[in-house]
Amino acid sequence: MAYQNGPAKEGPYGPLRRDIIELRLKPGMTISIKALYTYYDSSRSPMRDALLRLEQEGLVMLLPQRGIMISRIDLKRAEEERFLRVSVEREVMKIFMRQHNQADIDNLEDSLQEQEKCISTRNLRAFLDADDDFHNKFYCAVNKFWCAKTIDSVSGHYRRFRLLSIIKQSICKEILSQHREMVEAIKKDDEQKLMALFNHHLTKMEKEGPEFLHKFPDLFQDMEGKQFDSLNLDFLASLVTNSKSE
């Protein structure tokens, strides 16, 4: 089946990267070159360029004569990606508190409604997008959106970790609750409360890392995986199905 999402002019890089960071492709799985050409409807040169870019980002490993391996989640790198985001976003929040207006608060509340909708439909990927949109509104309000885009472009390991962390619907509800508290702190012009909520909100990884390492060892550790010669998969969907039966 040829890959249908996204404009053809984008080439295979964008669709393949999205499938990796959205956990459609399982970390650690190997894929034949033939399967990549077929699924992403790509010729050799564009696919080679896409794979080289993704290798530089640490999202794939090139396997001579075999194809590629989707990189397992590097917990150390994910933590560094998180650290980068927290360091920049903390300053963005401080600037936001000095210059935001009512329209900025309205935008944040619109995002809260979108997050609630995603929870009700149990769409994890859409919820994570809405989560990102909520945080990006702070960057936009202070004219730092380039910073947000740059951080996103180098945070593939952290994003996959975040997606794993919201498999349970209760976690999504907790995140939404924290976002609501942040908005209430902004309305009250309580910067100290906002920063305390922000620090708690984005520092959960220290506790969750070992838990996920134990629960999903094959996603983090160096283990041999089956090579796939055709692609029509959704790894995240299988995790969600399994979590419902627990």
Contact 147, 139 (CB under 8 A): yes
Is 18 part of a structural domain of the chain? yes
Q: Give the domain CATH number at 193.
A: 1.20.120.530
The tens-digit pLDDT sequence of the chain (246 residues) is 334 444 445 689 999 999 999 999 999 999 999 999 999 999 989 999 999 999 999 999 999 878 899 999 998 999 999 999 999 999 999 999 999 999 999 999 999 999 999 999 999 999 999 999 999 999 999 999 999 999 999 999 999 999 998 988 888 999 999 999 999 999 999 999 999 999 888 777 666 677 777 788 888 864 445 555 556 677 888 777 665 545
Helix (H/G/I), strand (E/B), else coil: 6? coil
Please tell me the predicted confidence (pLDDT) of residue 1. Answer: 33
Please tell me the predicted confidence (pLDDT) of residue 206. Answer: 63
| Residue 50: half-sphere exposure toward Cβ, Cα within 13 Å | 23
Quote the number of domains for the chain. Answer: 2
Please tell me the predicted confidence (pLDDT) of residue 202. Answer: 79
* Claim to verify: residue 194 and residue 239 sit in the same structural domain: no
Please tell me the predicted confidence (pLDDT) of residue 155. Answer: 95
Is 3 part of a structural domain of the chain? no
Helix (H/G/I), strand (E/B), else coil: 30? strand
Alpha-carbon dihedral 134, 123, 173, 158, rounded to 10 degrees: -60
Q: Give the domain CATH number at 65.
A: 1.10.10.10
* Claim to verify: residue 83 and residue 185 sit in the same structural domain: yes
* Claim to verify: residue 36 and residue 88 sit in the same structural domain: no
Is 217 part of a structural domain of the chain? no
* Claim to verify: residue 229 and residue 201 sit in the same structural domain: no
Please tell me the predicted confidence (pLDDT) of residue 228. Answer: 52
Is 215 part of a structural domain of the chain? no
| CA dist., res. 99 & res. 62, Å (int) | 47
CB-neighbour burial class of residue 227 (10 A; exposed 0-12, middle 13-18, buried 19+)? middle
Is 48 part of a structural domain of the chain? yes
Is 228 part of a structural domain of the chain? yes
Q: What is the DSSP string of 80-132?
A: HHHHHHHHHHHHHHHHHHHH--HHHHHHHHHHHHHHHHHHHTT-HHHHHHHHH
* Claim to verify: residue 84 and residue 56 sit in the same structural domain: no
CB-neighbour burial class of residue 188 (10 A; exposed 0-12, middle 13-18, buried 19+)? exposed
H or E segment and range at residue 62: strand 60-63
* Claim to verify: residue 119 and residue 12 sit in the same structural domain: no
Host domain of residue 155:
75-209
| CA dist., res. 136 & res. 77, Å (int) | 22
Q: What's the sign of the alpha-carbon dihedral 147, 150, 154, 156? A: positive
